[in-house]
Structure 1
Amino acid sequence: MGMTMTQKILAKAAGLDKVEAGQLIEARLDLVLGNDITTPVAITEFEKAGFTQVFDRDKIAIVLDHYTPCKDIQSARLCKQAREFALKHKITNFFDVGHMGVEHALIPEKGLAAPGEVIIGADSHTCTYGALGAFSTGVGSTDMAAGMATGLLWFKVPSAIKVTLKGKLQPHVSGKDVILHLIGQIGVDGALYQSLEFVGEGVASLSMDDRFTISNMAIEAGGKNGIFPVDEKTMEYINGRVSRPCEAFTADPDAVYEREVVIDLDKLEPTVALPHLPENTKVVSEVAGMPINQVVIGSCTNGRISDLRIAAAILKGKKVASSVRCIVIPATQEITLQAMKEGLMEIFLQAGAAVSTPTCGPCLGGHMGVMAEGERTVSTTNRNFVGRMGHTTSEIILASPAVAAASAVAGCVADPRA
């Protein structure tokens, strides 16, 4: 009986020749990640347990991205606590305002995630780094504290679902449509504590940004992680970013999967998730015309440079509808600079959009786009639960950058192909 990609990575990290689904293992960690909301809780637990030093200051990353630049006194206190801890323990990868970005875009950009590594983060969307062939998963702040102190963590080895991708994406269809389609097909608990392993000839046609988007939302199907095989595009991405040795793993031919889901990329259409679950999906042509109040283009799901290019191509020479607030948030400082060089910022501003410094703010209803009662947003974020981005009667429609930009212009949910 063979092993999946995820199982091979975990076996190596546990110092074992083989692992099986359901097995409990203790694995070595390559990176422990936290943000300005979760790190302070981890610090409190770390100190309460009597720990006085971290296991490796180079293998911990703290990114102040959720409520920053600080929206109020309490968020400033949390950032101060994280800042002082990073200084005390000489944390190498500490990212503050002016240097930070949305964590799950920043970590790969800085070369802190690589194929074959085991990464935990006190944020549910840590599964993003599976796009690079890593095992990465979200954990609680207590587990983050243990990871910072020991560099080890217990895991139950997940079983897997094979997601076979065929064909290639058509114009105005992206990785966001792939993952929304999948979640709509299997449900928000369809991969509960399982690994979503993406394979097939269709993988080669996906950009790295598409893969980051898809892996990012594995958790929205209940997945423990999402993971892609390492190919030429992966190696091209990490070249110049990652200098340490890394190892790519491939699933054995006789690896065991709970089931297989086949997606024909040729046939996918722009897809949205209506309130209040990511599984409530429709092709955009079915719901076009729904009135909206706001559009958010950004987040750890869709704030990368390709996302901004897609949005700018649609907004160029047009105006955001007078009834809509459009907020564009590049995910990192590097992406912001690239967007400026390419003239994308000018396009957004001339269209009547607001452009922000990198932040997670609106995604979690923190700041920079909180909704009032009864309002509706088309957002490129990853979660549309009740009250997620504001008042409990507000609504979130999850969409790709293409759909979001087209909707900003139309003043309602719109098909970018129209």
Structure 2
Amino acid sequence: MTMTEKILAGASGKKIVRPGEIVNARVNALMMTDLKGPYVFKVLEEELGTSKIRDGLDVVFVLDHLGPAHDIKSAQQFKACREAARKYGLPHFYDLGRQGIGHQVMCEDGYVFPGTVVAGIDSHSTTYGALGAVSFGISPTEGAIILATGELWLKVPETTRFTVTGNLPRRVSGKDIFLHIIGMTKWNGEVLYKAVEFTGPAISALSVSDRMAMCNMVAEMGAKNGIIAPDDKTAEYLAGWPEKRYDAVLSDPDAVYSHEYAVDVSSLSPRVSVPHRIDDVRPVEDVAGRKIDQAFLGSCTNGRLEDLMIAAEILKGRKVHPDVRLIVVPASRKIYLEAVRNGTIEILAEAGAAVLTPNCAACAGIGSGNIASGEVCISSTNRNFEGRMGAKDSEIYLASPATVAASAVEGVIADPRKY
């Protein structure tokens, strides 16, 4: 069996499961955000007829999409979230000042471990597969069912495997690998409702942060989940929770895959996804020189400490181009504090970046940093649909933190390898 199949088998009390089989899987943790949180509890009470949360389930409730409240509507939504957290006595409630983006909080605060099943009421809950878990996005109604039962009905997905080899060139990252992969395969439907397993020496060489970026973005392929085998780097990342016991589940040598791809990244250049399709991907040299109005560094894809530090390396001793706004949003309070302590925030601020409190900000077009009609933004986020980050006739180019930082300096899309 594959990793995903093994984990779902264990969670459903079975020795073996096969793709297409329907299982009731025990869920270890549930993540919900300010957007749908209050509605989940409404469904729990009014549709399921209970106000009791299943014992043993970690419920993580994070205010990340709308905060800090920027209008009366968002303030009212936050109020409803706080009231629900108090009513249900939720111990893992992340209010302003403590919050981060939900997906980052889940990983860094010890709610995700190898071999577990984790669900989130957000499509990018696939992020947690970077730690060897089966994780996926769900609807608010499914979230209410998990609250009540601790389980979720789902179909075991087939698995597509990408074996990635080669030494990654300088200033090329996990984000670039993923953009290359989706540009190579296009949105061809081959991984719809499938597990995407990343393996190979180039994946083993990646940091946990880069692995998170890759698993985060399998949602853009239509995949059920993304997953990477746990290793020593995973164990080091999780070392802060020695009391937690987990199984490092690996795919069997004879596991069956629906599709297999071989990807050599030894000569890969930085990649850029151009408007308005994420699978329309070009080498940075093909789009270099495109004038930009804004550069955005943050999100659940690329707002981690490593991402901020890479940007600081490029921006140190330089200034953001006078015609460009650089917005930087750390993915969590922990990341923000560490970036303050190690001088990263100072470098970014001195260069002219606007550094915001941890939240989703402009990524979904509902927070700070939206772009106006006709403007162009290069962003480390995960989607570049029309109107995703503001005006419908604006343009979003997706790229790595290094490419975003280099572009902020030059005022045009720029190749980071020169820095």
Report the TM-score, using the length of structure 2 for normalisation: 0.97
Q: 1:26 to 1:58 in 2, by over 3 A?
A: closer
The equivalent residue for 2:402 is 402
Contact 1:114 1:242 in 2 (8 A): no
For 1:24-35, list aligned pairs within 5 A. 24-35=22-33
For 1:159-238, list aligned pairs within 5 A. 159-188=158-187, 189-238=189-238
Report the TM-score, using the length of structure 1 for normalisation: 0.98
CA apart distance, 1:56: 3.0
Contact 2:27 2:150 in 1 (8 A): yes
The equivalent residue for 1:319 is 319
Residues 1:286 and 2:302 aligned together: no
The equivalent residue for 1:108 is 107
Contact 1:46 1:145 in 2 (8 A): yes
The equivalent residue for 1:69 is 68
Residues 1:351 and 2:338 aligned together: no
For 1:380-395, list aligned pairs within 5 A. 380-395=380-395
CA apart distance, 1:346: 1.2
Q: What CA deviation, in whole Å up to 9, does each residue of 1:238-278 have, x standing for no partner?
A: 01136321111111111111111111121211001001121
**Secondary structure of the equivalent of 2:417?**
coil
**Secondary structure of the equivalent of 1:136?**
strand
For 1:55-94, list aligned pairs within 5 A. 55-56=54-55, 59-94=58-93
The equivalent residue for 2:130 is 131
**Secondary structure of the equivalent of 2:197?**
strand
CA apart distance, 1:329: 0.7
Q: What CA deviation, in whole Å up to 9, does each residue of 1:225-244 have, x standing for no partner?
A: 00000111011110113632
Q: 1:174 to 1:301 in 2, by over 3 A?
A: same
Paired with 2:378 and 2:212, the residues of 1 have a C-alpha distance of: 20
Residues 1:417 and 2:417 aligned together: yes
The equivalent residue for 1:16 is 14
Paired with 2:43 and 2:279, the residues of 1 have a C-alpha distance of: 35
Contact 1:57 1:89 in 2 (8 A): no
Paired with 1:53 and 1:309, the residues of 2 have a C-alpha distance of: 43
Q: What CA deviation, in whole Å up to 9, does each residue of 1:142-197 have, x standing for no partner?
A: 11111111111001100011110112211100010011111111223441101110
Moved more, 24-33 or 43-52: 43-52
**Which letter maps to 1:390?**
G
Q: What CA deviation, in whole Å up to 9, does each residue of 1:58-84 have, x standing for no partner?
A: 511100000011111111222222211
The equivalent residue for 2:372 is 372
Paired with 1:41 and 1:397, the residues of 2 have a C-alpha distance of: 33
CA apart distance, 1:20: 0.6
Contact 1:112 1:242 in 2 (8 A): no
CA apart distance, 1:203: 2.1
RMSD (Å) for aligned C-alpha atoms: 1.1
Paired with 1:355 and 1:363, the residues of 2 have a C-alpha distance of: 15
**Secondary structure of the equivalent of 2:416?**
coil
**Which letter maps to 1:202?**
A
**Which letter maps to 1:206?**
L
Off by >3 Å, runs of 4+ in structure 1: none
CA apart distance, 1:342: 1.2
Paired with 1:77 and 1:243, the residues of 2 have a C-alpha distance of: 38
Paired with 2:87 and 2:56, the residues of 1 have a C-alpha distance of: 11
**Secondary structure of the equivalent of 1:417?**
helix
The equivalent residue for 2:255 is 255
The equivalent residue for 1:246 is 246
CA apart distance, 1:293: 0.5
Contact 1:57 1:91 in 2 (8 A): no
Contact 1:111 1:242 in 2 (8 A): no
**Which letter maps to 1:139?**
I
CA apart distance, 1:31: 0.5
**Secondary structure of the equivalent of 1:263?**
strand
Moved more, 19-28 or 237-246: 237-246
Pick from 34, 37, 40 the counterpart of residue 39 of structure 1.
37
**Secondary structure of the equivalent of 2:286?**
helix
Q: What CA deviation, in whole Å up to 9, does each residue of 1:27-69 have, x standing for no partner?
A: 0000011000021221221121222111137511100000011
Q: 1:12 to 1:332 in 2, by over 3 A?
A: same
Paired with 2:91 and 2:416, the residues of 1 have a C-alpha distance of: 43
Contact 1:57 1:92 in 2 (8 A): no
**Secondary structure of the equivalent of 1:32?**
strand
Unaligned ranges ≥5, structure 2: none
**Which letter maps to 1:101?**
G
**Secondary structure of the equivalent of 1:217?**
helix
Alignment size in residue pairs: 416
CA apart distance, 1:201: 2.0
Q: Percent identity?
A: 46
Paired with 1:56 and 1:375, the residues of 2 have a C-alpha distance of: 49
For 1:119-158, list aligned pairs within 5 A. 119-158=118-157
Moved more, 77-86 or 315-324: 77-86
Q: What CA deviation, in whole Å up to 9, does each residue of 1:334-380 have, x standing for no partner?
A: 11111111111111111111000001021001121111111110000
Paired with 2:236 and 2:373, the residues of 1 have a C-alpha distance of: 46
Q: What CA deviation, in whole Å up to 9, does each residue of 1:380-404 have, x standing for no partner?
A: 0001111100011011100100000
**Which letter maps to 1:105?**
Q
**Which letter maps to 1:44?**
K
**Secondary structure of the equivalent of 2:266?**
helix
Q: What CA deviation, in whole Å up to 9, does each residue of 1:186-230 have, x standing for no partner?
A: 223441101110112222211111101100001111111000001
**Secondary structure of the equivalent of 1:377?**
strand
